[in-house]
Every structure is written in C-alpha cells, then in structure tokens.
Structure 1
Amino acid sequence: MEEKKIDRRVRKTKRQLRLALTELLQEKPIKDITVREIADRVDINRGTFYLHYRDVYDMLEKIEKELFAEFNEIMQSHKEETDPTKPLPILNDIFQFFIDNADMAIALLGPNGDHAFVNQLQDIVKEHCVHNLMLVYRHSNPKHFEYFYAFIVNGCIGLFQTWLETGMKESPEEMSSLAEQFILRGIQVLA
C-alpha cells in the first residue's frame, strides 16, 4: 500500500515539474531556465527536483525520450500500412499524440523550443514514410522523394504548430483530414 502512495506522489511531482518546465519554455530558452525557477513554480525545494533529475537539461532529455517512445509506438503501430495514399489513420494518431502532449508540444515546437526534438521527429516520420512512398512510386525520380518528404513534413510541422498555437479548436480528426488533403494533392507530383 505504501509503495502505491509513493508512486502516485512521484508521478504527481513529475507532472507538476513538467508543467512548470513547459510554462517556462514558453517564456524563455532552456539555457535561461534554472532549477530554482522550476522548483519555485511547483512549490517544492530543489532537493526534491534533484531526486528525479540531475539538472534542467536532464529533465528535458528524459521528457523528450518519453515523447519519442510514445511517438515511435504510433509509427510502429502503422508499420504494416503500406499505402501512403491513405495517410488518414496515422495522421489521426499523430494529431491525437499532439493533443495528448499539447503542453510540451507547444513548448518544444515554439520559439524557445528544441530544434533537435523537431529534427528527430522528422527522422522518425521519414524512416516510416519515405520507404512506403518509394514502394508505391518506384518509377519516380528518387531525388523528388527527398523534396516531397521535406515539403510534406515541414508543412505538417507548420500545421501542428499553428493548430497548437491557435488553441486546438479543431478536432484531431478534422486536422488529420485537412493534412491528408494537403498531402494527397501534393503527392500527384510523384505520379
């Protein structure tokens, strides 16, 4: 019974620390955020922070690893879908991922965000999607795949950012449908 209480308290503390970090990342870059600021926002002492993380960078790295693990699970769950002309199911899951992690997504994709995080997301999507595109459009110019991928992934990240910044008024399903239309109309270049 005591172990469950501790686990719940640890989870609650980590949730509060994450919220404080995301709020601060919306105000300033990570290099300007201190452990004291995070602890003060959560109303804990710095020692409690250090029970969980070495420093602010370690905290961000651990949160990003959790996000990447979840994002990779989404991509792997769609691995068997080999028809890139039907991206709606994976787009639904990606938009749901962003809404489920909106606090951190807004911070990481915002002006004070982590460009390495965005680059790694792009790499994960590329690994999954470009291979499938090349199977379907194998007679197209390979260099066009790179351009098409860059165009689509950067467009989708822009779409995610705008959606998050404007308060996510549309549902993930509405946004997925919109993204699918953009992708499918753009994919005609490869045909």
Structure 2
Amino acid sequence: MATIHEQKAQKTKLQIQQHFIALVEKEGFQHVSVKKIADRASINRGTFYLHYADKYELMDHLQQELLAELQLRITSILPKEAFLALHQQQLYPPFIAIFQFISEHASALRAILGDHGDPSFAKKLKHVFGEILLERLIRQHPAAQNDAFRNYMHAFMTSAILGVIQEWLDNCEEQTVEEMAKIHFQILNFISHLRAFIEK
C-alpha cells in the first residue's frame, strides 16, 4: 500500500501531466516551458524537477505510458474472434476497449497528435498497430510473403486507423464510445463486402 508521501507525489505528477497537456494543446510544445508548467500547476520548479529532468522527458514519459496501455489493449484482440464477431454482426469488446482508451486519454492524444504537438508520435502509434495487430492479420494472406506488399499494406491500414482516431478526437463530443464502436463496425462491414458491391 502506498504511503501518504507516495500518494502525494503521484498526485503532483498527475497534475504536472494534466497542465502540461493543456499547455501543449493551447500554445504548442515548442512554447511550453518548465516555468509555465509549474505556474499553471501551482508548484515551484524544484518540485517539477523532482519528477522530470525537463519538458522533453515529460513528453517522452507521457507518450510511453499511452503507448504501453494501448499495446496492452491491442494485444487482447484475437483475429479469429474479431472476424467471427464481424460475421455474426456483433460488436467486438476489445475494439470497444480501444475506443474507451481513446476517450479516456482524448486530451493527451489530441494535444500530442496535434499540429503543435510531437510529429513523431503518430509514427509510434502506427508502429504499435502495425506490429501487434495488423501483422497478425496480414500474415494470414498469401501475398504476405512479399515484403513490399506487407510494408505497403501496413502503411495503408495504419494510416486509415490513425485517420479514424484523429477524426474522432476532433469530434469526440459528438459520438460516444459505443457509437464510435458501431461506426467502426460499419466501416469494417463495408470493407468486407466491398468486392460484392464492385461485382454488382
């Protein structure tokens, strides 16, 4: 069980992260300083330095936490179960869990993925989706033996996933987690029936 001191330190750390995110979203990462973070969080700079060396370490730490949690949720997705749910016209709970993750961390994701956040974060997100989820799906396809096909399919699908995430982040007040999960299901359902539409 955490001590009172540890609980207080964790609370301060979360406050620093929250105010940092708000500043990045409002002013852009380049314009954020330790002083601005400390002033907004009502702490002195010495307290900030007890937790982070500088704003770059804070940004990296925040990204690693987000990526680790996302990776954990993606790992629970099993392709066969996902395809079965799609075939049975049912929502797949692990997909809902990913949208729940996005909703819970909307402010941080919007700030970091935004025009004035960290351009490299989008690539890191794509890597997580590509290496964990899409590789499992793509390697089932006969064409997966071709490195060029696999690389371009990764690029195509991860860009599509990121596009859906960013669109929702811009309009997350308009759709709930459940509504987004249904839209995602409709997108997958449309793609799976695309060949039938073309052949009509």
Which one of the candidate residues 159, 162, 170 is aligned to 2:164? 159
User: Which residue number in structure 1 is paired with residue 66 of structure 2?
Assistant: 67
Matched, 1:19 2:24: no
What SS class does the counterpart of residue 27 from structure 1 fall into?
Answer: helix
Question: Any conservation in 2 of the 1:98–1:105 contact (CA below 8 Å)?
Answer: yes
Question: Any conservation in 2 of the 1:25–1:107 contact (CA below 8 Å)?
Answer: yes
User: Which residue number in structure 1 is paired with residue 101 of structure 2?
Assistant: 97
Runs of 4+ in 1 over 6 A off after TM superposition: none
Amino acid at match of 1:9: K
User: Which residue number in structure 1 is paired with residue 155 of structure 2?
Assistant: 150
What SS class does the counterpart of residue 50 from structure 2 fall into?
Answer: helix
Structure 1 pair 180/146, CA: closer, same or farther in 2 (3 Å)? Answer: farther
Deviation at 1:166, TM superposition (A): 2.1
Cα distance between partner residues in 1 of 2:185 and 2:155: 16
Which one of the candidate residues 117, 131, 134 is aligned to 1:130? 134
Matched, 1:186 2:185: no
Matched, 1:52 2:51: yes
Deviation at 1:83, TM superposition (A): 5.2
Matched, 1:173 2:172: no
Cα distance between partner residues in 2 of 1:84 and 1:145: 20
Cα distance between partner residues in 1 of 2:177 and 2:189: 18
Question: Any conservation in 1 of the 2:103–2:172 contact (CA below 8 Å)?
Answer: no
Amino acid at match of 1:28: E
Question: Any conservation in 2 of the 1:130–1:145 contact (CA below 8 Å)?
Answer: no
Which one of the candidate residues 114, 117, 135 is aligned to 2:118? 114
Q: CA offsets per residue over residues 111-168 of structure 1, 9 Å max, x none?
A: 2122221111111111123333234432589555544443332233222222222243
Deviation at 1:23, TM superposition (A): 0.9
Cα distance between partner residues in 2 of 1:96 and 1:64: 17
Question: Alignment length, in residue pairs?
Answer: 189
Deviation at 1:53, TM superposition (A): 0.2
Deviation at 1:92, TM superposition (A): 1.1
Cα distance between partner residues in 2 of 1:128 and 1:76: 7
What SS class does the counterpart of residue 43 from structure 2 fall into?
Answer: coil
Q: CA offsets per residue over residues 75-128 of structure 1, 9 Å max, x none?
A: 2222x4445534833321211111111221111122212222111111111112
Structure 1 pair 182/147, CA: closer, same or farther in 2 (3 Å)? Answer: farther
Identical pairs, percent: 29
What SS class does the counterpart of residue 99 from structure 2 fall into?
Answer: helix
Cα distance between partner residues in 2 of 1:133 and 1:99: 25
Greater alpha carbon shift after TM alignment, 6-15 vs 133-142: 133-142
Deviation at 1:72, TM superposition (A): 1.3
